[in-house]
Amino acid sequence: MSKPRIAFLGLGTMGSGMARRLLANGFPLTVFNRNVEKSKPFAAQGAQIARSPREVAAQSKVIISMLADDNASRTLWLGGTGALAAATIGTVCIECSTVTVNWVRELSTVASGRGCEFLDAPVTGSKTQAAAGELNFLVGGDAATLEKVRPVLAAMSKAIVHIGPTGSGSLLKLINNFVCGVQVASLAEAMAMIERSGLDRAKALEILANGAPGSPLVKAVSTRMTTPDFPPNFLLRLMAKDLGYAIQEGGKLSVELVTAKAALEDFQRAIGAGHGEKDIAAVVEPFRKS
């Protein structure tokens, strides 16, 4: 059987790697990115370049988006030039962005009204995993719909987990990123203590990385915090956005995410200091300037 044409919206840090995995696995691909310069390399690799989300969706059986936030997602899916304006009946729409549960449910309703099927399928992993096709998909929606597009997701992943009904994947992703954000913020504060106290930084980080606190995230980010620059694996401003979304979702469940609020303050301070477009590891920098 021929592989379906895929429409891909968003070619940022994560989306570019995901789109290349689809091309490498032989899927016909049409891409759209608001900054057209990011689209041009994909033409040389065999992808079609669309001028609007509506155009990218017109001939596709599967539409995938990987965007920054609710507003970006809404803009590219809805409206006269949005992808859903041209999506045909039976198209599977997959929202991989880290967005709010309310928006996912609204988007699912609109997609269903157009005769499309919908999955929320955010991912865990960062730039390296996206490029290598080693992401983990957290899928919310109908299990039968997931089976229809499993080969598409498999091209970009090492694991695909059906979490539950629509919105389940997005909620778990926000919980995941809330825990990650708290770890990174606490690591930045610990780094400040280490550096200001005169402790041997390499030895101290080795103890933390290989002891009880040593999650894969702590190991990776502690190394990135010691480098002179912070090329993005995960944009700092997006972690701040995710923490804010997680706090909102916690509030709906009557759970006050106190640690998330404290971590968000650290990330907002770093954004205010001009580090929003850098890697999350740059959250340590304001502590070094104090």
- Residues with catalytic roles: 173
Q: At 137, give phi and psi (nearest 5°).
A: -95, 130
Q: CA 284 → CA 22, 126, 194, 223, 224, distances in Å?
A: 35, 19, 12, 12, 10
Contact 25, 155 (CB under 8 A): yes
- State the Cα torsion 161-163-166-168 to the nearest 10°: -120
Q: 8 - beta bridge partners?
A: 31, 64
The 3-state DSSP class for residue 175 equals helix
Contact 124, 136 (CB under 8 A): yes
Radius of gyration of the chain (CA): 20
Cα angle value 225/185/96 (rounded, 5°): 90
Q: CA 57 → CA 41, 150, 283, distances in Å?
A: 20, 19, 38
The 3-state DSSP class for residue 79 equals coil
Cα gap 134→156, rounded to integer Å: 6
